[in-house]
Structure 1
């Protein structure tokens, strides 16, 4: 009944900076044009409106521009049984290297 108030597992952008040095699954739920303007190396672009098509069994970290779309995506993925974790603050706070223009 009150599922909109449930918190989702989340990490900070600083925690993500350490995790991306390892082999993790990272989904970027921004639009393809946002993704092409700059994303984290190794991230897979799965726009929010296609998140229900995602299939995976490993823990996945989810990022967007500000943390709002990724939070919605994490809720949808967790309903599907995927161990998904939100990245708070999103790409707007990312200070690391960005890949530009590639999928």
Structure 2
């Protein structure tokens, strides 16, 4: 998996220290069932297939977006979509929920 220009990559260990940051928005792009089965407190569920429609109304361009999925692949796609939609501060969590402990 190659990092995309302008998308910051963090580990789940880094994520733990960033979760309390009120200047960030935390987005989980897994399906509703995946999210309900196992989630991190503070993350909002916006499934990847709904991201384009919901980003405009539910996400602020003034705050950094931290995106997670199950393995890091869908969140990488989501980060690319968000960049195209004009979100400048986008972060992908490497390894996703598989790496979260």
Instruction: Provide the TM-score with structure 2 as the length reference.
Output: 0.83
Name which of 84, 89, 96 aligns with 1:90.
96
Root mean square deviation of aligned Cα: 1.3
Matched positions, count: 91
Q: What stretches of structure 1 of length at least 5 have no aligned partner?
A: 96-103
Which one of 71, 85, 89 corresponds to residue 66 of structure 1? Answer: 71
* 1:41 alignment counterpart: 41
Partner of 1:28: 28
* Structure 1 runs of 4+ with >3 Å offset: none
Encode CA deviations 1:50-87: one digit per residue, 9 max, x unaligned. 11121321111000000000000000000111121111
Structure ranking higher in strand proportion? 2
Measure the CA separation in 2 of the matches of 1:10 and 1:48: 18
Alignment-derived partner of residue 50 in structure 2: 50
Give structure 2 stretches of 5+ with no counterpart: none
